[in-house]
Amino acid sequence: MMNKLRRRRWLCMVVFVLLVVWVCLISNSVMVRTVDTDLQRSVARLGGDVEKTSKKTVKPGCNCVSISLQANKETVNISSLIRFPPVLFNENIDNFTFDNGHLFQCTQPNGPGPDGIEDLMCIPRPHYLPGYKNPCFYDKYQLFYCMPYYIILGFDKCGTTDLSYRLQLHPSVLKSIAYLYKEIYYWSWRRFGLFVKTSMRVMKFREYYSSFNNASDIIEPLAGQANQPIVGDGGPTDGWDFRGWQMDPQNAGLSEPRVLAPHHIRHLLKEPRFIVLMREPAERLYSDYLFLRYGDSPEKFDRDARTSIDMMNECLKVNTTRQCFYSRQYFQKTPARLHIGCYSVFLREWFSVFHRKHFFFLRSEDYKKDIRGNLQAVFAFLGIDSLPDTLLDTISDQEKRLQTTQKKKAGPMLPETKKMLQDFYQPCNKDLAQLLGDDKYLWNNT
């Protein structure tokens, strides 16, 4: 009798488990069919071939489409799908200071969250002291600190290291305690614990401004004096790498960012000045690719560039430009950092918060042709004295810094690769030229 009862119980348990498994399978099948149907509709609206579209899956907790594909034999350029958002600059944002910080409510009044990431909108702007050119202040312990007077926003492999090095040869420009005396990577990487394609320890805001301690010690006794020295921040990723946006407490649960690095810098710094170097995008990509050792030959670069274009095109079919360009997933999977060269996508984010007067723009090609003249222009933008001709000549004649030696060994990219990349970047260059009001950013003469 007992054995029969046990067998019945065992059979009931088996039937119950099988029923649960069957229900789960049916539910997953319905979910997958729903996702596939939505994707097919999106591609069909764009005139795409549904059958040839790469399979995509949506991961739980992810607001973007997962991309997994191989390079096609023929890369179809649909970069025209890139949607350039309007410049959102207006009087309300222009007047934004920590005094009207209610525009962005503090989400973590009790300090950083479990991941250690701070809500920078919970940190009041320091009370900056009069008499200093740099934004300087005393903290609650009466310790003196200075923030950067200028920031070199980018872009990677456009000559930012060389420009920063020559700037710091000016007697009025001090160095920070950072890699190459300039690169802290706080706004784009370290406040989120990110690195290139890995992770690192999360940096607190106090650690960021402590990176300028050596400069602060020099500046402190100079209050009210003329020709005060300045210090800057020169991490070239801060202008474009927004992939940490989903980790920002201000953007929790959003499908697109509401707050990015420009908003935080506007909240915490006083009248910053931004220097932006931009290079012909195809050449920038090739130099970046070789410098990061993603490959070592023009042939491999050609394959990886095609794969990167395919991945971006697939993403743009079903996502917004911001979702694709600021995607951690795309950044991790792309074999070449293609998206960086669409400069205007990122500059529009900065222009949504800062007036054009805060920026100095320079093409890498123009800087290389006339280092002396462009240094003088940068000095004027920063409000520091021009230099005697002999010293200016000495600075201008210095050997170029951080050259991509791998490029000399690999040789130039293949002509067909360059043509493909130029076609991809053409809409981006056109938008950049319109945004800055200068056709030289079409790079037709390079």
Same domain, 349 and 214: yes
pLDDT attached to residue 114: 85
CATH number of the CATH domain containing 312: 3.40.50.300
Strand partners, 273: 150
With a CB cutoff of 8 Å and minimum separation 6, the contacts of 341 are 155, 281, 282, 284, 285, 425, 428
**What is the mean predicted confidence (pLDDT) over 230-259?**
93
What is the rounded average pLDDT of the residues 144-153? 96
For residue 169, how many other CB atoms are within 10 A of its CB?
15
Q: Give yes or no: residues 256 and 386 share one domain.
A: yes
Say how far residue 104 (Cα) sits from the centre of its chain.
21
Which residues, in sequence order, are CB contacts of 298 under 8 Å at separation 6+? 410, 411, 412, 413, 414, 417
63 falls within a domain:
no
Give pLDDT, residue 346: 96
65 belongs to a structural domain: no
CB 321 within 8 A of CB 260: no
Instruction: Write down the pLDDT at residue 176.
Output: 84
Q: Is 230 helix (H, G, I), strand (E, B) or coil?
A: strand
Average of per-residue pLDDT across 277-300: 95
49 and 97 belong to one structural domain: no
Residues 26 and 95 in one domain: no
Are 327 and 220 contained in the same domain?
A: yes
For 48, the domain range is: 2-53
Instruction: Tell me whether residue 61 is in a domain.
Output: no
- Contact call for residues 71 and 303 (beta carbons, < 8 A): yes
What are 360-409's pLDDT values in tens digits? 999 999 999 999 999 999 999 999 999 999 999 999 988 776 566 777 78
309 and 402, same structural domain? Answer: yes
- Is the confidence at residue 118, as pLDDT, over 50? yes
Cis amide linkage into residue 325, ω under 30° from 0: no
Is 64 part of a structural domain of the chain?
Answer: no
* 71 within a domain of the structure (yes/no): no
CA dihedral sign, ordered 280, 285, 287, 288: positive
Note whether 193 and 310 are same-domain residues: yes
Q: Output the DSSP codes for 144-187.
A: EEE--SEEEEE-TTSSHHHHHHHHTTSTTEEPPSSBTTTB--II
Residue 306 lies in a domain: yes
What phi and psi values does residue 144 have, to the nearest 5 degrees?
-90, 130
Decide if 392 is inside a domain. Answer: yes
**Residue in the structure block whose two tokens are 């950044």:** 331
The total number of structural domains that make up the chain: 2
Residue type, 144: F
pLDDT of 166 higher than 60: yes
Q: Are residues 48 and 108 in the same domain?
A: no
Kindly report which listed range (48-62, 120-134, 205-219, 227-241) carries the lowest average pLDDT score: 48-62
Q: Are residues 308 and 435 in the same domain?
A: yes
Token pair in block for residue 311: 């991945």
Tell me the pTM: 0.79
Asked whether residue 124 is domain-assigned, the answer is yes
Instruction: Read off the pLDDT of each residue in 127-131 and give the average, rounded to a whole number.
Output: 95
The arithmetic mean of pLDDT across residues 223-246, rounded, is 93
β-strands 144-146, 359-363: how paired?
unpaired
How many of the other CB atoms lie within 10 Å of CB of 276?
22
Please tell me whether residues 40 and 176 are part of one structural domain.
Answer: no
Do 47 and 146 belong to one domain? no
Compute CA distances 51 → 36, 40, 44, 234, 345, whole Å: 11, 9, 10, 47, 31
Report the C-alpha gap between 126 and 106 in whole angstroms. 16
Q: Is the peptide bond before 155 cis (omega within 30 degrees of 0)?
A: yes
In this structure, the answer to whether residues 237 and 357 fall within a common structural domain is yes
What residue type is assigned to position 238 of the chain? D
